[in-house]
């Protein structure tokens, strides 16, 4: 069985991947049970995803994300909202850590995501974790055309259509939309994700 987070992910996997629909089950991810707004939101998280075509285009990628990290407007926003700017590097980018101006936090994703008030990413699916907490997401997709032509064979998700956060192709757009509160919540988190996964495992074991 393939465990999926929501109906959106179900429709994407069913359409673009060679998986039989009877193998797909919407359970949510167990980590979603820990995502609650009872925890203070103190982090502005910078977390881009990886590119399988590196080292080609690597310098462009690093230059663009370093520009985000040293943006005076983003720093000012963080200061005004008492947020710590945190960089979380994707594990597949770990070998390039020394080329970024911020050191990646060693804290686990599960702990960081529940403290994040604003996420700046490109294509990472962790935007869902932030969205279901009613927190803000900005997508910085400066390399959209090349990314979809070379990293993935199809643009499975049209981020603009999701309306969960502004899709930006220039740093200035990111900076100008830091105070944008408009977003669409993808689904309600009922905090029963672990229960559904557990029951699925037990039922499969017994059958």
Give tens-digit pLDDT for 147-166. 988 886 566 778 998 899 99
Phi, psi of 35 (to 5 degrees): -90, 105
Question: d(Cα 18, Cα 39) in Å, to the nearest integer?
Answer: 39
Which of the pair, 37 or 81, is modelled with greater confidence?
81
Tokens 């049209």, residue located:
158
- Contact criterion met (CB below 8 Å) for 112 and 86: yes
Kindly state the helix (H) or strand (E) to which residue 147 belongs, with its residue range.
helix 144-150
82: phi > 0 → left, psi -120 to 50 → alpha, else beta; which?
left
- By three-state DSSP, how is residue 120 classified? strand
Tokens 């080329």, residue located:
99
Integer angstrom CA distances of residue 141 from 77, 101, 106, 118, 159: 21, 20, 25, 16, 10
The pLDDT value recorded for residue 154 is 60
| pTM reported for the whole predicted model | 0.91
Integer angstrom CA distances of residue 13 from 4, 17, 133, 163, 180: 9, 5, 24, 20, 30
In terms of Cα–Cα distance, which of 116, 131, 166 is closest to 6? Answer: 131
Q: How confident is the model at residue 181 (pLDDT cuts 50, 70, 90)?
A: confident
Q: What is the mean pLDDT of residues 25-40?
A: 92
Q: How confident is the model at residue 127 (pLDDT cuts 50, 70, 90)?
A: very high
The pLDDT value recorded for residue 16 is 80
């Amino acid at each position: 069985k393939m465990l999926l987070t929501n109906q959106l992910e179900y429709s994407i996997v069913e359409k673009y991947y060679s998986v039989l629909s009877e193998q797909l089950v919407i359970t949510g991810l167990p980590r979603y049970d820990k995502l609650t707004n009872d925890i203070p939101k103190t982090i502005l998280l910078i977390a881009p995803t990886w590119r399988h075509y590196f080292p080609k285009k690597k310098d462009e990628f690093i230059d663009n994300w370093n520009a985000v990290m040293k943006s005076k407007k983003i720093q000012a926003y963080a200061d005004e909202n008492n947020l710590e700017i945190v960089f979380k590097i994707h594990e597949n980018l770990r070998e390039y850590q020394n080329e970024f101006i911020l050191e990646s936090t060693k804290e686990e994703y599960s702990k960081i995501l529940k403290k994040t008030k604003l996420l700046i990413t490109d294509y990472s699916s962790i935007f869902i974790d932030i969205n279901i907490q009613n927190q803000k997401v900005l997508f910085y997709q400066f390399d959209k055309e090349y990314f979809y032509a070379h990293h993935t064979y199809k643009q499975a998700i049209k981020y603009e259509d999701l309306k969960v956060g502004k899709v930006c192709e220039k740093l200035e757009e990111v900076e100008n939309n830091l105070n944008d509160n408009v977003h669409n919540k993808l689904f309600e988190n009922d905090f029963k994700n672990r229960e559904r996964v557990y029951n699925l495992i037990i039922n499969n074991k017994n059958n």
